[in-house]
């Protein structure tokens, strides 16, 4: 792949080091993006503890800009390295940390960041955690009520219990009887959740009967930190929000063979009133229409036969079947992994780099 690029920064104060460098006063690293902007990543200590900050030097204006920082920030370490992958993202590799917290991306000009810049009217950057080792992308599964997606997810979890895990959602409603915080939901105050949403810490959220529900970036990271792939069972609107976020995932929509069959399945459950059934049918019609939105779902599976649909779901999730070895990851679904980048740099993140 060639040598890792080192970027020269001109006319910056405080002797900020450039590109791949860890031995620096104040632990600051700077890289150029394009011709006009230099991004400075610095680790510092203050009264509130250690923090990682971002500054942007606008060469055309000759001034510093403090951007709005979205996403969950990485915890400070004893040093870091910064590498520009393209003009959209900076790879930040931390030293003296465990392998599952070593690799982060600072998004500076991705589609998500550009959208947030327009929305907020100012400079924006966003943190996203790197994928470690052989970990695969999370899976977003959507589909109308009664289509059988819950059964399909259960089968996936039962067949691969050590591979998949669920993220725990956040909500502002009060716990019900026997519900445990951190198990059934992360129960939180409305003001706290609204602030976290504004700070970009949620992949998706919705207001339901006066309460907020949502999936946080940290909740998805918690699943991947355990070495598992996260499954997100969310509606189409939630899938749209996740698609617009910095999370790289596989998006799958489960569709009924027909609308009449979906209605038949809902009525066969005999658990809801006519009013509730009609509401679910209205929502289903809207979701089926939205599922065809260009670029939203990677795969649309018709659940006309449960076992056939399940086999297709496994293929979409990146599994093929080998008679000798059983399920394995399909090479077609491989994506950028930080281990590959680490091998490219020929560097152990637990060791310090020297100038």
Q: Give the residue numbers marked as catalytic.
A: 176, 269, 280
Packing angle of the helix pair 149-159, 306-316 (nearest 10 deg): 60
Residue 99: half-sphere exposure toward Cβ, Cα within 13 Å: 13
Spell out a b/e string for 304-339, using b for 16 or more CB atoms within 10 Å of the CB, else e. Answer: eeeeebbebbbebbbbeeeeeeeeeebeeeeeebbe
**Spatial distance between the Cα atoms of 73 and 104, rounded to a whole number of angstroms:** 9
186, 219 in Cβ contact below 8 A?
yes
Element (H, E) at 119: helix 111-120
**Spatial distance between the Cα atoms of 122 and 166, rounded to a whole number of angstroms:** 35
User: What contacts 69, CB < 8 A, 6 or more positions away?
Assistant: 54, 124, 125, 126, 127, 199
**β-bridge pairing 124-129 and 103-107:** antiparallel
């Amino acid at each position: 792949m060639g040598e890792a690029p080192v970027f020269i920064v001109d006319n910056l104060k405080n002797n900020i080091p450039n590109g791949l460098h860890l031995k620096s006063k104040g632990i600051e690293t700077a890289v150029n993006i394009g011709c006009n902007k230099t991004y400075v990543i610095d680790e510092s200590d203050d009264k509130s503890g250690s923090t990682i900050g971002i500054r942007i030097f606008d060469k055309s204006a000759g001034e510093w800009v403090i951007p709005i920082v979205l996403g969950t920030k990485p915890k400070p370490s004893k040093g870091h390295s910064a590498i520009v992958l393209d003009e959209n993202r900076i790879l930040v590799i931390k030293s003296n940390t465990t392998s599952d917290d070593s690799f982060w991306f600072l998004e500076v000009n991705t589609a998500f960041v550009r959208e947030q810049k327009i929305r907020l009217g100012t400079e924006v950057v966003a943190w996203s955690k790197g994928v470690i080792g052989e970990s695969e992308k999370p899976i977003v599964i959507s589909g109308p009520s009664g289509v059988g997606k819950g059964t399909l997810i259960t089968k996936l979890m039962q067949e691969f219990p050590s591979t998949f895990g669920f993220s725990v959602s956040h909500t502002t409603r009060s716990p019900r009887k026997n519900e445990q915080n951190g198990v059934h939901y992360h129960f939180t105050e409305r003001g706290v959740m609204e602030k976290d949403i504004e700070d970009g810490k949620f992949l998706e959220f919705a207001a339901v009967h006066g309460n907020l529900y949502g999936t946080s970036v940290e909740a998805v990271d918690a699943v991947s930190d355990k070495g598992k792939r996260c499954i997100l069972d969310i509606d189409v609107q939630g899938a749209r929000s996740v698609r617009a976020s910095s999370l790289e995932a596989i998006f799958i929509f489960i569709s009924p063979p027909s609308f009449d069959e979906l209605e038949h399945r809902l009525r066969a459950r005999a658990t809801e009133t006519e009013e509730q059934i009609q509401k679910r049918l209205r929502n289903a019609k809207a979701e089926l229409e939205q599922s065809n939105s260009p670029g939203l779902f990677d795969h649309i599976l018709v659940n006309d036969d449960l076992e056939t649909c399940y086999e297709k779901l496994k293929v979409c999730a990146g599994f093929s079947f080998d008679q000798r070895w059983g399920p394995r990851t399909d090479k077609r679904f491989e994506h950028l992994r930080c281990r590959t980048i680490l091998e490219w740099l020929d560097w152990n993140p637990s060791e310090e780099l020297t100038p």
